[in-house]
Chain A
Amino acid sequence: MRRRTLVALMTLISTATFTACSTSSDDSDTAEQRSVTLLAYDAFTPQEGIFESFTAETGIDVNIVTGGDTGTLVSKAILTAGNPEADVLWGVDNTFLARVQDADVLDSYEAVDTGDVCINVHDAHFNNAGISKPFALADLVKPEYKDMLVVQDPRTSSPGLAFLLATIATYGNDGWRNYWSQLRSNGVKIVNDWTTAYTVEFSGSSGNGSRPLVVSYGSSPPAEVLYSDPPVSEPPTSVMESSCFRQIEYVGRLRGAPHPEEADLLVEFLLGKTFQESMPLSLFVFPVNDSAVLPEVFEKFAAKPENPLTIEADEIAANREEWIEQWADSAL
């Protein structure tokens, strides 16, 4: 009996392997069929069928290869610089850009989307307690907001780093360390990663945490609406716009790309109106193409700060390590 199960299992597996092999051999280039490979982070989940119009127009098939977070992607891209597995790289942001430039990974690159890292607020908590919501970073060090904020460690988390950069952009080189000392005195909680902060410590999402203020994304409120169970029409959270730090993601042609012409056509498509309009609901980022129209849930609930905080990629690259060491001294 047991042997029969084993045989069945082996048959199943060999069939599966065979199918996998035969499908992958279909991907190989033939003389007529052109193709291009896009390398992206795991969270790159474009709208289904979005590349069909590109293929119909140009005759080029698009293969999407994903692997890991942005950091993983950057590590892999640096290791394979000049001999890449793909043609186009999606998703390097302004905190990583300088590192990618140093390693000579890309032939050319352009901004493809923007997003913001902002303080998210659990509205009900403030309504129930009869306290007004904080409006500026300076509010967060006031006694009425004591023990309310949870942030990520900038040494281990990219939104954590973005929030540190937000404080540096706000208070400048002279003031930000003092601001963090005050945050510490006011009971800021520092955790390792976004997941812990948002889903465990924060009171406004899936966890049953105790802190009503968290560093997350400007697009987190619409995500709360789209992924709620049971469904809701309004998010339990809102965004503190003055705290938003702008993250810009880039798309570029990899140096040594096997299909450079196809790569350029794909980049053009990614910057075009069709793809740009699909990004908010599939990728939770904002388009850079001015002609793209935003979906309603984004219009209503996502943060659209007029003057988001920002720091140049070169300056981030030059100072990152020093800032992080100074941060550890002031905040821990």
Chain B
Amino acid sequence: MGGFSPVTSKMVLSQNENDSRSFNSRAAALLTVPVGLLAIFYVLPTLNLVTSVTSLGSLLEHLTSATTWNVLWFTTWQATLSTILTFALGLPVTWALSVFRFRWHAAAQAVMVAPFVMPSVVVATAVRSVIPGDDDTGLLPILIAHCIFNIAVVVRVVGSRWNLIPRDLTHAAMSLGSRPLKTFSSVTAPLLRGSIAAAAALVFAFTFMSYGVVAILGGPSYRTVEVEIFTQAVTFGDVDEAVVLSVLQIIIVGILFAFAKGESSMAGRSAIGNGSPLRFHPHRQLIASFVAISCALMCAPFIVLVRRSFGRQGEFSLGGWRALWDGSLSTVGVEVPRALLNTAIFAVVCVAIAVPCAVVLATARDRMVRGTRHLELLTAGPVVTSGVILGFGAIITFDTSPINWRSSTWLIPVMHTVVALPLATRIITQALQSVSQGQRDAAATLGASPFKTWWTIDIGCSRRALRASAGVSAALSIGEFGATMFLSRQDTQTLPVVLAQLLGRPGDVVQAAGFAVSLIMVVFVAVVVSRA
């Protein structure tokens, strides 16, 4: 093969440029779908709710109240403490998992990451059942649960970076006489900086907005903003107070995200090679046992959950499990098989909408379609917005024809999509960013149309990310509680709504059934995510 003459190659390239411009404009046209979705189902209801319920006066009134400040203060410092603790425990595990390979490596990694996709109510219930006696509520259980929940963020975000650090770099430093600690601080840490900042911001934000964990483990003295929002909306029917607190939360976490974005983008995307994991190390046994112990600690609460689903301590009974299927729970307004089916349907619908939308958003972002940088603000919105607000907004907005949708079943998975879209998009964006431009150029030079290039190279290389984004969307849909609670009815209940009802009622069987439902959710999410 003689190759192209300079002239023809130039012609091919300019032809490609035209093609790719038209591809980009078509991508921009497709953008109207996810943007429209967010505009109609997130921006419109939220703005409508906030403007019709709150005023500047009531916002100021709440800002000057001591209760608001107490709640804000606790929320902030527990989130700070949780973040520090999560890193203190998470970094060593991350190190072991990224630098070494051992038997059961994949399993250990899965155990560390799994709790993150579990519904927070389930994790909290599990932690609570494992802590003995009077200490089962308070600051320590909150911190433990937050750690279990968020170690996954450190393992994933920092670990994926750590994997990429070439061993040559650290070896070079060592052979030049640098001690391990010095090597870490002068070689490894600077390379990890961006990912640590990004992970820290995420952990802080998640623990700042923590609901399930604090609601179940907080006791009377510990309440976060999100718990207070739920209390006002659900227990006291005080819409005004709930909305004002949510607005405050959106502002605070929004600022934090903006800050974290600047910080992590400083790290850039310099590809730094691929570290080959070590199989031999003088303290290999020690490291493996350390990972094993960490895994056991992560699993302990879930094992207790299994025990509790078989009745009271000391006795063994299948009553809780039997009650799930024999219809006896209908006396407390719960139909578990139906809730299971609903949850599955909603998750499938959510994935079916969220993943294509995320692909469009991520592609537009990657191709730098004009205006997409601002889109990121829009897509981040649902992450910082309380589920209560999404639910309230939908009820108050979609109440007149032709958009009288508030009692439609499909509204529930659509709201789940709104919640899942930011994370789903983020996963695919990251994958697209790591696709090498060289491959795209090669495909284009060989005559592939921009669409074909995009399909075979961009999407072809991102298959794992697509599956991950589907898994995360499904997991979020399965666990979504805030919006679902306000939009669902008896025949559209989901597992989290059913769980909240069961754990809120007396009777051995009902309680055991609640733990059984938690377990079903754990298995459900685990299956979905592991398949993805």
A binding-site residues for B, Cβ under 8 Å? 9-10, 13, 16-17, 20, 24, 42-45, 48, 64-80, 83, 85, 96, 99, 153, 155-158, 189-196, 198-200, 205-208, 210, 216, 220, 223-224, 226-230, 282, 325, 332
For B237, what are the chain A residues with a Cβ–Cβ distance below 8 Å?
70-75, 77-78, 96, 99
Q: How near does chain A come to B382, taking the closest CB pair, in angstroms?
A: 20
Beta-carbon contact of B242 and A79 below 8 Å: no
A-B contact pairs, 11 of them (CB 8 A): A16-B341, A16-B345, A20-B409, A68-B486, A69-B234, A79-B395, A195-B503, A200-B136, A210-B133, A223-B506, A229-B512
The residue of chain B having its C-beta at the shortest distance from the C-beta of A156 within the complex is B231
Beta-carbon contact of A192 and B215 below 8 Å: yes
For A200, what are the chain B residues with a Cβ–Cβ distance below 8 Å?
128, 136
Beta-carbon contact of A199 and B506 below 8 Å: yes
Cα(A194)–Cα(B506), bound, Å: 9
B456 contacts chain A at the CB level, 8 A cutoff = no
Q: Mark B56-76, 1 if CB is under 8 A from A, else 0.
A: 000000000001000000000
Given contacts A75-B239, A192-B218, A332-B220, contact A13 B233 (CB under 8 A): no
Beta-carbon contact of B219 and A208 below 8 Å: no
Which residues 283-318 of B sit at the A interface, judged by CB distance below 8 A?
A: 311-314, 317
Q: How near does chain A come to B243, taking the closest CB pair, in angstroms?
A: 10
Give the residue of B233, B332, B345, B508 whose beta carbon is less than 8 angstroms from that of A229: B508
Given contacts A206-B511, A224-B506, contact A43 B332 (CB under 8 A): yes
Cα(A71)–Cα(B238), bound, Å: 8
Cα(A195)–Cα(B215), bound, Å: 12
Beta-carbon contact of B490 and A205 below 8 Å: no
For B490, what are the chain A residues with a Cβ–Cβ distance below 8 Å?
42, 64-66
B406 contacts chain A at the CB level, 8 A cutoff = yes
* Extra pairs beyond A42-B333, A64-B490, A230-B317 (18, CB < 8 Å): A20-B409, A24-B409, A43-B332, A43-B333, A48-B330, A67-B488, A71-B237, A75-B239, A75-B486, A76-B395, A79-B392, A99-B238, A192-B218, A205-B507, A207-B511, A224-B507, A227-B508, A228-B507
Given contacts A155-B231, A199-B511, contact A206 B506 (CB under 8 A): yes
Cα(A202)–Cα(B285), bound, Å: 46
Beta-carbon contact of B507 and A72 below 8 Å: no
Cα(A6)–Cα(B485), bound, Å: 29
Beta-carbon contact of A68 and B485 below 8 Å: yes
For B227, what are the chain A residues with a Cβ–Cβ distance below 8 Å?
156
B442 contacts chain A at the CB level, 8 A cutoff = no
Beta-carbon contact of A205 and B506 below 8 Å: yes
Given contacts A153-B220, A195-B503, A332-B221, contact A158 B235 (CB under 8 A): yes
Cα(A332)–Cα(B219), bound, Å: 12
For B344, what are the chain A residues with a Cβ–Cβ distance below 8 Å?
13
B139 contacts chain A at the CB level, 8 A cutoff = no
Beta-carbon contact of B501 and A75 below 8 Å: no
B83 contacts chain A at the CB level, 8 A cutoff = no
Cα(A80)–Cα(B67), bound, Å: 28
B144 contacts chain A at the CB level, 8 A cutoff = no
A-B contact count (CB 8 A): 159
Which residues 61-107 of B sit at the A interface, judged by CB distance below 8 A?
A: 67
Q: Mark B486-519, 1 if CB is under 8 A from A, else 0.
A: 1011100000000001011111111110000000
Given contacts A191-B219, A229-B319, contact A83 B399 (CB under 8 A): yes
B24 contacts chain A at the CB level, 8 A cutoff = no
Which residues 385-430 of B sit at the A interface, judged by CB distance below 8 A?
A: 392, 395-396, 399-400, 406-407, 409
B51 contacts chain A at the CB level, 8 A cutoff = no
Cα(A97)–Cα(B379), bound, Å: 39
B348 contacts chain A at the CB level, 8 A cutoff = yes
Interface residues on B, range: 35 or more
Beta-carbon contact of A208 and B312 below 8 Å: yes
For A230, what are the chain B residues with a Cβ–Cβ distance below 8 Å?
317
Cα(A74)–Cα(B486), bound, Å: 11
Q: How near does chain A come to B83, taking the closest CB pair, in angstroms?
A: 24
Q: By CB atoms of chain A within 10 A, which of B313, B330, B486 has the most?
A: B486
Beta-carbon contact of B509 and A229 below 8 Å: yes
B137 contacts chain A at the CB level, 8 A cutoff = yes
The residue of chain A having its C-beta at the shortest distance from the C-beta of B318 within the complex is A229
B331 contacts chain A at the CB level, 8 A cutoff = yes
Beta-carbon contact of A69 and B235 below 8 Å: yes
For A226, what are the chain B residues with a Cβ–Cβ distance below 8 Å?
507
Q: How near does chain A come to B219, taking the closest CB pair, in angstroms?
A: 6
Cα(A307)–Cα(B515), bound, Å: 39
Cα(A48)–Cα(B505), bound, Å: 20
Give the residue of A78, A83, A191 whose beta carbon is less than 8 angstroms from that of B137: A191
List of 4 A-B pairs having minimum Cβ-Cβ separation, nearest first: A74-B237, A227-B507, A153-B220, A229-B319
For B488, what are the chain A residues with a Cβ–Cβ distance below 8 Å?
67
For A71, what are the chain B residues with a Cβ–Cβ distance below 8 Å?
233-237
Beta-carbon contact of B319 and A72 below 8 Å: no
Beta-carbon contact of A17 and B345 below 8 Å: yes
Beta-carbon contact of B489 and A66 below 8 Å: yes
Beta-carbon contact of A72 and B233 below 8 Å: yes
For B507, what are the chain A residues with a Cβ–Cβ distance below 8 Å?
205-206, 223-224, 226-229
Beta-carbon contact of B396 and A80 below 8 Å: yes
Beta-carbon contact of A65 and B489 below 8 Å: yes
Q: By CB atoms of chain A within 10 A, which of B216, B235, B333, B509 has the most?
A: B235
The residue of chain B having its C-beta at the shortest distance from the C-beta of A43 within the complex is B333
Cα(A200)–Cα(B238), bound, Å: 28
Beta-carbon contact of A13 and B235 below 8 Å: no
For B223, what are the chain A residues with a Cβ–Cβ distance below 8 Å?
156
Q: How near does chain B come to A37, taking the closest CB pair, in angstroms?
A: 10
Give the residue of A13, A68, A76, A85 whose beta carbon is less than 8 angstroms from that of B348: A13
Beta-carbon contact of B504 and A194 below 8 Å: yes
Cα(A249)–Cα(B501), bound, Å: 20
Cα(A48)–Cα(B333), bound, Å: 11
Beta-carbon contact of B486 and A156 below 8 Å: no
Q: How near does chain B come to A199, taking the closest CB pair, in angstroms?
A: 6
The residue of chain B having its C-beta at the shortest distance from the C-beta of A199 within the complex is B511
Given contacts A80-B395, A206-B312, contact A157 B235 (CB under 8 A): yes
Beta-carbon contact of A192 and B345 below 8 Å: no
For A64, what are the chain B residues with a Cβ–Cβ distance below 8 Å?
490
Q: By CB atoms of chain A within 10 A, which of B223, B330, B489 has the most?
A: B489
Cα(A144)–Cα(B485), bound, Å: 44
Q: How near does chain A come to B500, taking the closest CB pair, in angstroms?
A: 9
